[in-house]
Structure 1
Amino acid sequence: MPGETAPRLSIVAPMYNEAANVAEFCRRLFAVLAEVPEPWEVVCVDDGSTDRTLELLRAEQRRRPGLRVVRLARNCGQHGAVMAGFAESRGEWVITLDADLQNPPEEIPRLLAAFREGHDLVGTYRVGRRDTRFRKWASRVTNRLITRISGISLRDFGCMLRGYSRRVVDGILRNPEYRTFIPALATFFAANPVEIPVRHEARAGGDSKYSLLKLLGLQLDLMTGFSLWPLRLLFLVGSGLAVAGLAMAALILVLRFVLGAEWAAQGVFTLFAVLFFFVGGQFFALGLLGEYIGRIFQAVRRRPAYLVGEVYEHGDDAP
């Protein structure tokens, strides 16, 4: 039942151009919540949509008590939308999920059961994934790589359906890191986390908002936001290349005296190849260092991760 003053459960759903899914999402979600005994609320965050998402959310809100709508002043990305939802949520338990219905709302009771058992962070991993073969393969490789680099053990970094206790949410809000990854950050504040399997379905409608470039950017955020391992790897690789360069220079010098000047002239292209290899390595290193320095620059400016335009409550004609 909807909570009037103090909901126990908050559902946070970021939305960006999800007009094709709003009605079905609300129908299925509220059907599930109708069976939840604890007081609840639903916080839908419109992340600067350019379609009819906000209009449809307002229409759903007029006939669904417990639905609150937050409109961001501009598109701030999924991270900013989730942070805005966290800030507006009031529940002791907070569950996030996407509006595309790939994570079925019918799985919410399983997360609630984990909360009732005393867990303060409920992670999930998708079984029976309905993605392309390439995307599933890329996800497995990425999960293993990020786990090894960051030391954070999450079986599925890409699943949005997760549960956070109020203590964990407050810890995240007190540390508004620039372009962080919320599920990984939450592990620092959890005392009794757990991971459970959840079903995965095909997208109900619309298009995925995560292009290949955005997915690569997410992996870069994970690496640079939670580990210094890439910098240490650069030091090791650089040291190895320096030793290899000195050895090759010594070899070329010896062959110059053994085989004569004619051989040295004919090896000019080999030297060019070695030069290009080292130059490429330097540009790679500078790019990675630039990513870390850029993150420091963004953090120092302390710009907000999101800008709230309006907050609509049930029964209000105006924000």
Structure 2
Amino acid sequence: MDAMEVTTPSPPRSPRRPRPNRPAPGALLDHHSFTYSIVIPVFNSVEIVGTTIDRVVDVLDGAGLSYELILVNDGSRDGSWEVISTKARDNSCIVAIDLLRNYGQHSANLAGFREATGDYVITMDDDLQNPPDQILVLIDAAMRGHDLVFGRFERKQAASYRRLGSKAITLINRRVFGQPADLAVSNFRILRRDVVDRISASQTAYPYITGQALLYSGSRSHVAVRHEPRPVGKSHYSLVRIIRLVLAILFSYSSVPLRLAALCGFVIAAMSFGIGTVYLIRGLVGETQVEGWTTLVVLLAVFNGVTIALLSMLGEYTVRTLNAVSAHKNYHVVDRVSG
């Protein structure tokens, strides 16, 4: 049965406060002066997501913080939506959002950003590999005046192919988004309200929260946090998903692949002109033994070289035009539940 998209009126949002000022050197902001939104994308985690929610709530209640917990069901095919919607009905601090289908972690985070009202927004996974008590570590680091703080895992509990994928993405982040060499990034992070607003307002067909956060922040930092093994089940980030993410970042935010193709086109064109020149000289000195062979080779070499060069340049303009006009919706919400 096809999912039906319904329109659920959102509750009035509280006025957003001015962004926190950077404290004087050596001073800290008061973390009790702000509100916090914790955004958790949920995908096929029926066995663990309930425990994750309970532990996050216990940590934040125990710290006496004002918060909201936003759970975004990213097209789960198990009973995850039933779990998080029940939690939302029972707790006024929890909001559950159900997306039409699986759009990916970054689109789910974007949906959570646009729902969030906190002065700071924290993103984390649904599988307890980001221990909820480490949220307080991120908050303490943000109170030093940073508008973006990543959790740097002391030891990442992940498969070897995921670590290799992380290294590849780090190289792309440094080349495309200007990630400093001494800055570690992860999906466990805290962002100030103004950074979240810039990301939410961006019109891109393929959201990539880490890269956009680097682009739209001014004071970045990281702090050491724990990373624990997944208690149940296995990670949904397969090798295929990592490759798709790498390609999406490259083709959506970087012109490197296109310019590499253009460079190859110009090299092939130059080689074609060179071959044409060689056969032209051989034809002029009478070394060819086939009538019309020189003319044919020269014409094919010249015209193919020009065609390849023109296609490469047209590709550059086409991609730029597509990037300028692509503004389709990244996700569709079919249900929203809150206490």
Q: Same fold (TM over 0.5)?
A: yes
The TM-score normalised by the length of structure 2 is: 0.73
Tell me how far apart the structure 1 counterparts of residues 336 and 152 of structure 2 sit (CA, whole Å): 32
| Partner in structure 2 of residue 268 of structure 1 | none
Contact 2:149/2:220 (<8 A) preserved: yes
Call closer, same or farther: CA 1:26–1:147 in 2, change over 3 Å. Answer: same
Confirm whether residue 239 of structure 1 aligns to residue 292 of structure 2.
Answer: no
Correspondences of 1:73-84 after superposition (within 5 Å): 73-84=100-111
Whole-Å separation in 2 of the counterparts to 1:72 and 1:12: 14
The AA in structure 1 aligned to 2:65 is E
1:37 corresponds to 2:37: no
CA distance in 2, matches of 1:125, 1:282: 46
Aligned with 2:167 (options 120, 135, 140): 140
1:207 Cα deviation from its structure 2 partner? 3.9
Please tell me whether the aligned partners of residues 178 and 214 of structure 2 are also in contact (alpha carbons under 8 angstroms): no
CA shift for structure 1 position 306: 2.1
Match of 1:273 in 2: none
Q: Distance in 2 between matches of 1:30 and 1:161?
A: 17
Q: Is the 8 A contact 2:266 2:308 kept in 1?
A: no
- 1:274 corresponding residue in structure 2: none
Equivalent residue in structure 2 for 1:298, among 326, 329, 338 = 326
Further displaced range: 227-236 or 283-292: 283-292
Q: CA deviation at 1:309?
A: 2.3
Question: In 1, distance between residues paired with 2:314 and 2:232?
Answer: 41
Structure 1 letter corresponding to 2:329: P
CA-based RMSD of the aligned residues comes to: 3.9
Letter in 2 for 1:184: G
TM-score normalised by the chain length of structure 1: 0.77
In 2: Cα distance, 1:130 partner to 1:38 partner:
29
Alignment check: 8 A CA contact 1:71 1:310 kept: yes
Q: 1:282 to 1:147 in 2, by over 3 A?
A: farther
**Equivalent residue number for residue 272 of structure 1:** none
Task: Indicate which of 228, 233, 246 corresponds to 1:201.
Answer: 228
**Distance across 1 between alignment mates of 2:176 and 2:199:** 22
1:146 to 1:254, Cα distance in 2 relative to 1, 3 A:
farther
Q: Is 1:313 aligned to 2:300, yes or no?
A: no
Alpha-carbon distance, 1:95 to partner: 0.1
Residue number among 26, 35, 39 corresponding to 1:8 in the alignment = 35
What's the CA shift string for 1:66-95, capped at 9, x where partnerless?
Answer: 222122233333222212211211110100
- 2:269–2:309: 8 Å Cα contact kept in structure 1? no
- Within a 5 Å distance, the mapping from 1:149-168 to structure 2 comes to 149-153=176-180, 155-156=183-184, 159-168=186-195
Could you tell me which runs of 5 or more consecutive residues in structure 1 were left unpaired when the two chains were aligned: 266-278, 315-319
Q: Which residue of 2 aligns with 1:275?
A: none
1:48 partner amino acid: G
Partner AA of 1:313 in structure 2: S
8 Å CA contact 1:142–1:219 kept in 2: the answer is yes
Partner of 1:18, secondary structure, is coil
Q: Specify the alignment match of 2:28 in structure 1.
A: none
CA contact (8 A) 2:150 2:223 kept: yes
Q: Is the 8 A contact 2:152 2:222 kept in 1?
A: yes
Partner residue in 2 for 1:182: 209
In the alignment, the residues of structure 1 paired with residue 105 and residue 220 of structure 2 have an alpha-carbon distance, to the nearest angstrom, of 23
Residues 237 and 58 of structure 1: is their aligned pair in 2 closer, same or farther, counting only changes over 3 Å? same
Q: Deviations over 1:255-294 (max 9, x none)?
A: 88999669xx9xxxxxxxxxxxxx9999999999876665
Distance 2:286 2:176 in 1: 46
What are the residue-to-residue correspondences of 1:268-283 with 2, within 5 Å?
none
Hey, what does 2:54 align to over in structure 1?
27
